Structure 1
Amino acid sequence: MSESVYVLGAGGHGRVVLDTLLANGIQVTGILDAKAQLSGQLLGVPVLGGDEYLDNVSSANSFLVNGLGANPKIFRRRNIFTVMKTRGFTFKSFKHLSAIVSSAISMGEGCQVMAGVVIQAGVTLEENVVINTRASIDHDCMISAHSFIAPGVTLCGNVTVASSAFIGAGAVVIPNIHIGENAIVGAGAVVTKPVPDGWIVVGNPAVKIGVNN
């Protein structure tokens, strides 16, 4: 029996994800988004309804792709992944054809590597991680589950990013730095010191401006 692939979310990130899947030759069965116009299409793929559509879909031969973005909080992405995993669904991982990815990396379930990304040897991506457009991840970095690396980010070697962290567009993290769980690094920040759990940091050099509650 052939597999079915459903994209969850029809917003900006969802459209980019869908475009990448189609470019990779992956046939997408439909898009699920309660806010999208029913009976419509997105890039030629039908919008089938909200998540309730999956109530009548077997998880045995169906795969999901997380199309929710981060703004910068990632709890919606994390929650939908967790809920659908408890229902028995599997999330598909993918990488854009233009991404340059070492063969010596580890990539967990539901990871997304977008256009123009570079990932070097020894990198670990845990489940539900996004490495967004043109980000650069150097050797031996560890990106923990549900973290979101925004477009144009540069992580130098041996950086560790704890679970559910967000690193904003164009940020730079120097080697051997740890970014804590649920931390938010603002766009364009230059991180030269460890970022504790839950801190929000911005600027060059990055400094704390708040806590991610």
Structure 2
Amino acid sequence: MKDEIVVVGAGGHAKVCIEILREMGETVAYCVGDANALDRCVGVPVLRGDENLMSLYAAGYRRVFVAIGSNRLRNSLATSAIDIGYKLTNAIHPKAILSPTVRCGEGVAVMAGAVINAESTIDSLAIINTGATIDHDCDIGRAVHIAPQCVLAGNVKVGAFSFLGIGSKVIPERTIAENINLGAGSVVIDDLLGSGTFVGVPARRLNK
């Protein structure tokens, strides 16, 4: 069996994740991209078409990282890879700071400068982007994306597939439900319940 990693995705997010994996001492063998992908992604050869996951598995590759920005698509592709037999790996930058009591799932990306404090939980396929801060006892759901420079105070819960836009802030003990898009720079002072888009200071539902 081969120890190198296969990265699903070949765009900008994949570039960042590949460089994180390299910082961790890992080797990325191939990217699997779509029909419009370039031949290489930060030096890694790109195979076009998801069917390549099957052939790479047959060739002995077993470790995969799904580097797709879309929460739903990331989850779907990860499920397909797991069904083939792959094991999801994490990409956690050495310059991120994680408490030893943080609990992480599989396929998680944590970018440089992120801080995750005591007894927080990061579920599988979540993205904690550059410089984001997650304080103690937070619960970040499956395939959530916390964008760069977000600040979450203690005891915040973010439901699966939600996206918190760049620079948004959440006061302590708030709940953000599943399937919510929070606009850049928004400030959450109340629970956000029901799927939808919320923006502003304080954050309010944009449209039903």
Given candidates 88, 92, 95, the residue that maps to 2:92 is 95
SS of match in other structure, 1:10: coil
- Deviating 4+ runs (over 3 angstroms): none
Task: Provide structure 1 residue ranges, at least 5 long, that are not aligned to the other structure.
Answer: none
Given candidates 112, 134, 138, the residue that maps to 2:135 is 138
User: Once the 2 structures are TM-superposed, how far is the Cα of residue 61 of structure 1 from its aligned partner?
Assistant: 4.7
User: For 1:62-81, what aligned pairs fall within 5 Å after superposition?
Assistant: 62-70=62-70, 74-81=71-78
| Residue in structure 2 matched with residue 207 of structure 1 by the alignment | 204
* TM-score, length basis structure 2: 0.94
Q: Any idea what the Cα deviations from partners look like across 1:168-194, whole Å, max 9, x if unmatched?
A: 100000000000010111110000000
User: Once the 2 structures are TM-superposed, how far is the Cα of residue 47 of structure 1 from its aligned partner?
Assistant: 1.2
Aligned-partner Cα distance in 2 for 1:78–1:140: 24
Aligned-partner Cα distance in 1 for 2:90–2:16: 14
SS of match in other structure, 1:65: strand
Given candidates 106, 109, 114, the residue that maps to 1:109 is 106
| Residue in structure 1 matched with residue 56 of structure 2 by the alignment | 57
Task: Provide structure 2 residue ranges, at least 5 long, that are not aligned to the other structure.
Answer: none
Aligned-partner Cα distance in 2 for 1:21–1:91: 13
* TM-score, length basis structure 1: 0.92
User: Once the 2 structures are TM-superposed, how far is the Cα of residue 3 of structure 1 from its aligned partner?
Assistant: 1.6
Q: Any idea what the Cα deviations from partners look like across 1:102-136, whole Å, max 9, x if unmatched?
A: 11110001111111100101100111111001000
User: Once the 2 structures are TM-superposed, how far is the Cα of residue 58 of structure 1 from its aligned partner?
Assistant: 2.5
Q: Any idea what the Cα deviations from partners look like across 1:24-80, whole Å, max 9, x if unmatched?
A: 21101111102213xx3222211122211112233775111111113xxx2211211
Aligned-partner Cα distance in 2 for 1:201–1:43: 35
Judged with a 3 Å threshold, the aligned counterparts in structure 2 of structure 1 residues 192 and 80 are, in CA distance, closer, same or farther, namely: same
Identity, % of aligned positions: 37
User: Once the 2 structures are TM-superposed, how far is the Cα of residue 199 of structure 1 from its aligned partner?
Assistant: 2.5
Judged with a 3 Å threshold, the aligned counterparts in structure 2 of structure 1 residues 86 and 191 are, in CA distance, closer, same or farther, namely: same
Aligned-partner Cα distance in 2 for 1:15–1:109: 19
Judged with a 3 Å threshold, the aligned counterparts in structure 2 of structure 1 residues 90 and 128 are, in CA distance, closer, same or farther, namely: same
| Residue in structure 1 matched with residue 42 of structure 2 by the alignment | 43
- Contact 2:17–2:91 under 8 Å retained in 1: no
